[in-house]
Amino acid sequence: MYVAVKGGEAAIRNAHRLLADRRRGDRSVPALRLDQIVEQLGLGVDRVMSEGALYDRELAALAIVQARGDLIEAIFLVRAYRTTLPRFGYTRPVDTAAMLAERRVSATYKDLPGGQMLGPTFDYTHRLLDPELAEGSEVPEPELRDEAVEAMPRVSDILGGEGLIEPDGAMPAGHVTGDITREPTEFPMERDTRLQALSRGDEGFLLALAYSTQRGYARSHPFVGEIRIGEVELELEVPELDFPVTLGRIRVTECQMVNQFHGSAKVPQEFTRGYGLVFGQSERKAMAMSLCDRALRARELGEDITAAAQDEEFVISHSDNVQATGFVEHLKLPHYVDFQAELDLVRRMRAEHEAAHGGGERKEAAE
Amino acid sequence: MERRSERSDNMARKTAMAAFAMASAEDLRILGKEAGLVLDAKSLRGPETGLVTVRGRIGGGGAPFNTGEATVTRATVQLASGEVGHAYALGRDKEKVRLAAILDAIWCSPSGREVVDQRIVAPLMRIQAERDSRRHAEAAATKVDFFTMVRGED
Amino acid sequence: MLSEQIIGGFSSPVFDAQSTFRALMDAFARPGSIHAIKAGTQPPPSLSAGAAAVALTLCDNDTPLWLDAALQGAVVSGWLGFHSGAAVAATPADAHFALVADTANLIALDNFAQGTQEYPDRSTTLVLQVASLTSGEPLVLEGPGTNGMASLAPTPLPRHFIEQWKQNNARFPRGVDLVLVAPEGVACLPRTTRIGIVRA
């Protein structure tokens, strides 16, 4: 028999009201404005855009406020919002070589065209808490250096000239670009589809997997060929115009990881690569993504699959934090009927057990 | 010859539309007003907000893959004189995109192109170029100059 | 792009699409019943206003569209592309929807996507323009939603339609679904509907 249970309506309503109150906090403290979050918590906004897989700074900021700063909850809100919008099409692929870069570093070449540009980085800071920030002191304007804009070819193109590094990843002719938002997930998965999943994957999960490859679980001897952060232009082909229309610019982070490779049955000795591209300024995520991309190419490169980071089904199926949080967190919702059934089952099995063993334990205890 | 001029027309229109897409609604309204333009037209589609799927390339230059989505707003309008204008821009600012579509329609009218190019597109591009060059100068100041050690030896 | 490809879409996209969707849903739920399409459109010649409303309601950027010979050409595909975002499918087997103006000369139904056993929904939905839903040879409809029996008298119909429809039924759960659009409204023949004996 199934008995539907009603109730809790008032409790839920009041819980939401309490949530709204706690979200606002002490009313004597000024309420946060979205532009404050966009401007001053920019990397949190970037993370929500990257894992929410939706580029819109104000929406990400709104999601962060609504989620009280719980970024996975904010990512969930952004994902839910995007399902309400129609899709106009696919942009032309962004050209990261033409990026208006704000940061560009290479760990493999000291002198390279376009130079090493540190940009707004935490690197080389002392990681000492700064009490002046707490006081809200004045911040000086950045230093300027007048110089002509220099072309910044990708490091992979420089190495590529010698033939020592594999070319950019190609897909077979006639391949239709995979899209995890349109097609059900199927394994084995093509590299393009995997990259889409990794790009929205949970930063913490990908970081841990990337770290595991460095600790020896699918070691790949990585070097950062290049990281660049900056703005790229988006263009869209539309039926009503004879030219691709410019939509504006978005900020992205790109990582080219270069990996030593001893060759295999399928591929001669050369450097191989892992690739990372994510929305916003998210260097750690782009690096982790490129390490995971490389590890997941084990099958393609004829390597033995020995570690979690190389297991496509394991990595891709568990990288999405909205899916993960949904399934883990649903356990707290009422399972009264399920549990009742389990309870009955355990009682019955115990009764059978006792009947079969004739209350042997008690007898033992009596002896 | 005709094809070439059509191509250069397309390039000029693309440049103008790009300038509108990167401007703010306020910039478009103010510049349009200063140029003495009537920013009014019939809506044929939108303004409406939707998504585009942003594509990158594997390794930077290889096969395309889908990176994520971005909000985009678009509009199509028609002037009383019949010209149709389109606009697309990242984000959700419907008023900005409506103004951009009207400016595009005016750009397409025989008498409108010059005034839109000179009074709106040119200043917008100047503002954008200044912003870009400042950004570049800020980033360039963080360039590592490995040769500074040998400076000042005299 | 020509202005005739740009004018004539839904005047109120949300409400027009909702009311047309409601008509289609009811027509699919009760095969044989005829539902008026209230949303107005002014499509290019050869595409009927009713079929255009159905296309704008169902199609978007993710639904490749096949056009029959009578509709092929830049004007109709441009109009549909502008108002719905749908691109033209390379082959009928790639099409999510097919728009047909010359129903009497339609290619065989088995040219279109039939879906798979795992995903029977991945089949083509055909939108056929017909002159009338009531003045043709009456068809007796049986199956889910007909309350035992219903009837419909569309004209014209594709060649050997009764035989083709039997084959379509035999492919179940695969198979195509039909939307018939006439000036008086829309009626649907889902793949679950069987066409019984034709009355004398």
Confidence of residue A365 (pLDDT cuts 50, 70, 90): very low
pLDDT in tens, A223-241: 999 999 999 999 999 988 9
Q: What does the alpha-carbon distance between residue C84 and residue C57 come to, in Å, rounded to a whole number? A: 8
Q: What is the pLDDT of residues A85-107, one digit of tens each?
A: 999 999 999 999 999 999 999 99
Contact partners of C by the rule of 3+ C-beta pairs under 8 A?
A, B
Residue A366, pLDDT > 50, answer: no
Provide the number of structural domains found in chain A.
Answer: 2
- What separation in angstroms does the CA of C198 have from each of B50, B79, C153, C194? 48, 55, 10, 12
Q: What is the DSSP letter of B59?
A: G
Q: What is the pLDDT of residues A64-85, one digit of tens each?
A: 999 999 999 999 999 999 999 9
Would A1 be classed as within a structural domain? no
* A85 touches C at CB < 8 Å: no
pLDDT score recorded for residue B74? 97
Structure-token match 């083709």, residue found = C164
- Per DSSP, helices labelled H in B23-93 are 25-34
- What span, in angstroms and rounded, lies between the C-alpha atoms of A165 and A142? 38
pLDDT tens column, C8-50:
889 888 999 999 999 999 999 999 999 999 998 999 999 999 9
> Per-residue pLDDT for B149 more than 70?
no
B110 CB within 8 Å of a chain A CB: no
Please write the tens of the pLDDT for every residue from B85-103. Answer: 999 999 999 999 999 999 9
Could you read off the pLDDT of B108-129 as tens digits, one per residue?
Answer: 998 999 999 999 999 999 999 9
Optimal mutation site among C11, C42, C82, C84, interface B, most CBs of chain B within 10 A: C82
CA-nearest residue to C84 within chain B is: B45
> Interface of chain B against chain C, CB under 8 Å?
44-45, 48, 76, 78, 82, 84
**In a domain? residue A90:** no
Residue C122 corresponds to which tokens in the numbers above? Answer: 């991945």
Q: What percent of chain A has pLDDT over 90?
A: 75
Is residue C129 within 8 Å of residue C154, measured between CB atoms? no
Reported ipTM? 0.92
In the predicted structure, residue C182 carries a pLDDT above the cut 80: yes
Least confident segment among A61-75, A263-277, B9-23, B122-136 = A263-277
Neighbours of C162 (CB within 10 A): 13
* pTM across the whole model: 0.90
Q: What is the pLDDT of residues C102-123, one digit of tens each?
A: 999 999 999 999 999 999 999 9
Phi/psi at A68 (nearest 5 deg)?
A: 55, 30
Domain that holds residue A20: 11-82
| pLDDT tens string A124-170 | 999 999 999 999 889 999 999 998 888 888 887 777 767 788 888 88
Which position has the higher pLDDT, A246 or A5? A246
Of B59, B134, B143, the CB nearest to A156: B59
Give me the residue spans of the domains in chain B. 2-140
- Of the ranges A45-54, A145-154, A177-186, which is most confident? A45-54
Among A253-267, A282-296, C26-40, the range scoring the smallest mean pLDDT is A253-267
- Is the pLDDT at A360 greater than 70? The verdict is no
Q: Which of C6, C9, C13 sits opposite B84 (nearest CB)?
A: C6
How many residues appear in chain A? 367
Same domain, A113 and A55: no
Based on the fold, state whether residues A73 and A160 are members of the same structural domain: no
φ/ψ of residue A232, rounded to 5: -120, 150
DSSP class of residue B60 equals G
| Average pLDDT along chain A | 92
Residue with tokens 């990843």: A169
Please name the residues in contact with A337: beta carbons below 8 A apart, sequence gap of 6 or more: A2
Helix H, strand E, coil C: the string for chain C is CCHHHCCCCCCCHHHHHHHHHHHHHHHHHCCCCCECCCCCCCCCCCCCHHHHHHHHHHCCCCCCEEECCCCCCHHHHHHHHHHHCCCECCCHHHCCEEEECCHHHCCCHHHCCECCCCCCCCECEEEEECCECCCCCCEEEECCCCCCCEEECCECCCCCHHHHHHHHHHCCCCCCEEEEEECCEEEEECCCCEECCCCC
- Expressed in angstroms, the distance from the first to the final Cα of chain B is 61
Q: Tell me, yes or no, whether A114 and A201 share the same domain.
A: yes
Q: Is there a single domain that holds both residue A69 and residue A114?
A: no
Contact between C53 and C80 under an 8 Å Cβ cutoff? The reply is no
Cβ atoms of A206 and A50 within 8 Å: the answer is: no
Handedness of CA A244, A246, A250, A253 (dihedral sign): positive
List, for residues C63-117, the tens digit of each pLDDT value.
999 999 999 988 999 999 999 999 999 899 999 999 999 999 999 999 999 999 9
- Using DSSP's 3-state secondary structure scheme, residue B51 falls into strand
Fold of C3-195: Rossmann fold (3.40.50)
Contacts of A131 (CB under 8 A, 6+ apart): none
| pLDDT tens digits along B44-101 | 998 999 999 999 999 999 999 999 999 999 999 999 999 999 999 999 999 999 999 9
pLDDT at position B57:
97
Contact A96 B74 (CB under 8 A): no
Interchain contact, C6 vs B48, CB within 8 Å: no
State the Cα–Cα distance between residues A189 and A299, nearest whole angstrom. 11
Greater model confidence, A261 or A280? A280
In angstroms, the CA A282 to CA A279 distance is 7
Q: Which residue of A has its CA nearest to B55?
A: A93
> Over C23-57, what HEC string results?
HHHHHHHCCCCCECCCCCCCCCCCCCHHHHHHHHH
Q: How many CA atoms lie within 13 A of A199 on its CB side?
A: 35
Q: Is the Cβ–Cβ distance between A252 and A279 less than 8 Å?
A: yes
- Closest CA in chain B for residue C10: B45
Of all residues in chain C, the percent with pLDDT exceeding 70 is 96
Judged against a pLDDT cut of 70, whether residue A36 lies above it is answered with yes
Query: CA dihedral defined by B74, B80, B83, B87, rounded to 10 degrees?
Result: -10
Final residue of a structural domain among A82, A109, A131:
A82
For residues A303 and A160, membership in a common domain is answered with: yes
> Rounded to a whole number, what is the distance in Å from the CA of A239 to chain C's nearest CA?
6
Distance from CA of C10 to the nearest CA of B (A): 9
- pLDDT (0 to 100) of residue B7: 83
Q: How far apart are CA A67 and CA A52, in angstroms?
A: 13
Interface test with A, best of B27, B55, B65, B147 (most A CBs within 10 A): B65
Residues A104 and A208 in one domain: yes
For residues A244 and A238, give the distance between their C-alpha atoms in angstroms, rounded to a whole number: 7
CA geometry: angle A148, A154, A155, nearest 5 deg: 115
Are A158 and A231 part of one and the same domain? yes
Q: Out of A101, A149, A250, whose CB is closest to B70?
A: A250
Nearest-angstrom CA–CA distance, A283 and A303: 28
C-alpha to C-alpha distance for C133 and C188, rounded to whole angstroms: 10
Give A113's pLDDT tier (boundaries 50, 70, 90): confident
* A5-9, A362-366, B89-93: least confidently modelled range: A362-366
Beta bridge partners of C182: C185
B129 interface with A at CB cutoff 8 Å: no
- Indicate whether A268 pLDDT > 80: no
